[in-house]
Amino acid sequence: MKLDACLCNSASYSYSKKGEQKKIQHKKKRGKRLSILGLFSQEESFEYGLKLGGIISKSYIEMINWQAEKAEETLNKTGKITVIVLDNYSVHKSKEVKKNLEKWRKKGL
């Protein structure tokens, strides 16, 4: 049995009557959401955090605090800052995250 990213069985054989749309039945019970927050450093690394459920400000701040510590080490060793691009995701605009921006900037992030 093969499972895709959603843990669904990919049908290897099926049919439908002419003129009818093919349907694949799934069990109604679904698993918990697995959220992945990834950080890619060109030609160096891909780091990520996994969380069951959605990403909220608290878990996002924990991940970025970890990255800020690494950014501070990089800044002290090489003088280079680390850049993380924030998009319009609601967590990026939250009050809790905005409170941390200056602290992260001081660490070279």
pLDDT digits (tens, 9 = 90+) for 58-87: 989 998 999 899 889 989 999 988 888 888
Name residue, tokens 């701040």.
Answer: 61
Res. 106: pLDDT tops 60: yes
Q: How large is the average pLDDT for residues 19-36?
A: 75
- Beta-strand runs (E) in 1-109: 34-41, 45-52
pLDDT digits (tens, 9 = 90+) for 38-66: 877 777 778 888 888 888 899 899 989 99
Q: How far apart are CA 36 and CA 47, in angstroms?
A: 10
